[in-house]
Homo-oligomer: A and B are copies of this chain.
Amino acid sequence: MTIGIGLLGLGTVGAGVAQILATPRGRHPLVGELALRRVAVRDLQRARPIELPSDLLTTDAEAVVDDPAVEIVVEVMGGLEPARSLILRAIAVGKPVVTANKAVIARYGEEIAAAAAARGVYVLIEAAVGGGIPIIEPLKQSLGANRISRVSGIINGTTNYILSRMADEGAAYTEVLADAQRLGYAEADPAADVQGGDAADKIAILAALAYGGSITRSAIPTQGIDRLDARDVAYADQLGYGVKLLAVAEQVATTAEGVAELDVSVNPTLVPRDHPLAGVHGVNNAILVEGDPVGRVMFYGPGAGAGPTASAVVADILNIAGIRQVSALGTPEQPVPLDPLLAAGSWRPCRLVDSAQTRHRNYVRLRTSDQAGVIGRIGTCFGDAGVSLQSIVQFQAPTDSEGGEAEIVVITHEVQEACFRQAMAAIEALPVVASVAACLRTL
């Protein structure tokens, strides 16, 4: 039994998928039953890492979706359009879809899921988050017994690479970014990675699966690493922390109507050195899931790259192929019902809470006058707002600062964001405080 695959895109990931399909030996035997039928590319002439028969290639992506020999549509072209329209087109003609496109799923996931449910086809997205790390499938199929309290992760490899090198070398952000671009670890336009948008896309997807409802992507408070100062990485290290770009989705309450209230955000965050996420270096990703009764489980591995991402894409293809015999039992009038775990539909409303009501630990670096009593005044501002502190430490002022300046680093206990903001407003107004130089989260 052969299953026809149509590939939309033959970039890094697409070529990785074609490579796996071309070399089935030693992989699960189902891989040998997958046959690449049609591949949509932008430019027929371009040199590619894998050689395919030229009659497989076409520039007409819709023709790939519509080709009767194509039974599963695999979208690895990226970008919002035409990817979204092609996914919807495949669903409309009753073909299951595999996609690695986190941007489309994070923004149009609800529309796509509704169309897929109505038509009775699967849309699988393992490769959209965490590259080769199995995380979507475990969230859908292995952790359903749990009440998930928190999903937190390092889910952008580019920023983790930059942060790892900043920490190891004490280097400045702009320097490391330039080097990462030269080495191919960061894109020419790095905005989506370094400003946190890519991580926000991914945490929106993970939160939707973990909490069973759709998340408004545009409402996720997102802070990137593009304004991170090497001093803060160095101070964090001295205080026993590493700095990571963390994407976090935490359930803070359930309303009487059963709505899950979530705190979802992306922030550069101080992670204690003995925390499982602190040991995740370079382009690796890791996702920590906390739930009742499982406790804490973590998934770790390569978060990007042709091979890992292709591994995840083919996993999804295999899952669809594995239940294909079953689906074939249905008729257009009486389709076989979808497995609700694999289909992963919404099962409760979710909403993001007002960020002022959320609770976090915070790291603050202040530039102040170097005079007696400053720490007391700052401490009083925090105390007046009900913000209790874990530590307040004076560091040597940077060499480029004005004479008579000091640097004060504060780490708070877990406090309500509204109280923290109130304290910060009071501190900024203090004549002895020159500026709030940095404000990060702390785990």
| A interface, CB within 8 angstroms of B | 16, 19-20, 26-31, 126, 132-134, 137-138, 141-147, 212, 254, 276, 279, 291-302, 305-308, 310-315, 318-319, 322-323, 325-326, 329, 336-337, 339-342, 347-348
Q: Are B319 and A295 touching (Cβ within 8 A)?
A: no
Chain B residues with Cβ below 8 Å from A142 are 126, 134, 137-138, 312, 315
Q: Are B301 and A300 touching (Cβ within 8 A)?
A: no
Given A147-B26, A341-B318, decide whether A293 and B20 contact each other with a Cβ distance below 8 A. Answer: yes
Cα of A19 to Cα of B147 in the assembled complex, Å: 13
Residue of B nearest to A316 (CB): B142
Given A138-B138, A315-B143, A315-B144, decide whether A310 and B293 contact each other with a Cβ distance below 8 A. Answer: yes
Q: Are A295 and B301 touching (Cβ within 8 A)?
A: yes
Q: Which of A295, A297, A312 has the most CB of B within 10 A?
A: A297
Q: Are B293 and A311 touching (Cβ within 8 A)?
A: yes
Cα of A294 to Cα of B303 in the assembled complex, Å: 10
Given A141-B141, A144-B31, A145-B20, decide whether A307 and B293 contact each other with a Cβ distance below 8 A. Answer: yes
Q: Are A310 and B30 touching (Cβ within 8 A)?
A: no
Residue of B nearest to A29 (CB): B347
Given A134-B143, A311-B146, decide whether A301 and B293 contact each other with a Cβ distance below 8 A. Answer: no
Besides the known contacts A144-B318, A294-B301, 11 further A-B residue pairs in the complex with CB atoms under 8 A apart? A28-B212, A137-B141, A141-B141, A141-B322, A143-B315, A144-B314, A145-B318, A146-B311, A291-B311, A293-B306, A300-B300
Q: List 17 A-B contacts (CB under 8 A).
A: A19-B293, A27-B146, A27-B147, A28-B145, A31-B144, A31-B145, A133-B297, A134-B138, A137-B137, A137-B141, A145-B313, A279-B279, A292-B307, A298-B298, A299-B300, A323-B339, A325-B337
Cα of A142 to Cα of B315 in the assembled complex, Å: 5
Cα of A145 to Cα of B29 in the assembled complex, Å: 9
Cα of A146 to Cα of B306 in the assembled complex, Å: 13
Given A30-B341, A329-B329, A347-B28, decide whether A143 and B311 contact each other with a Cβ distance below 8 A. Answer: yes
Chain B residues with Cβ below 8 Å from A347 are 28-29
Chain B residues with Cβ below 8 Å from A312 are 142, 294
Q: Are B295 and A298 touching (Cβ within 8 A)?
A: no
Chain B residues with Cβ below 8 Å from A146 are 27, 311
Q: Which of A294, A305, A307, A326 has the most CB of B within 10 A?
A: A294
Q: Are B294 and A132 touching (Cβ within 8 A)?
A: yes
Chain B residues with Cβ below 8 Å from A314 are 144-145
Chain B residues with Cβ below 8 Å from A323 are 323, 326, 339
Chain B residues with Cβ below 8 Å from A294 are 132, 301-302, 307-308, 311-312
Chain B residues with Cβ below 8 Å from A30 are 144, 340-341
Q: Are A145 and B315 touching (Cβ within 8 A)?
A: yes
Of B28, B138, B296, B348, the residue contacting A144 (CB under 8 A) is B28
Given A20-B293, A319-B341, decide whether A310 and B145 contact each other with a Cβ distance below 8 A. Answer: yes
Q: Which of A31, A142, A279 has the most CB of B within 10 A?
A: A142
- Closest beta carbon of chain B to A168's beta carbon, Å: 12
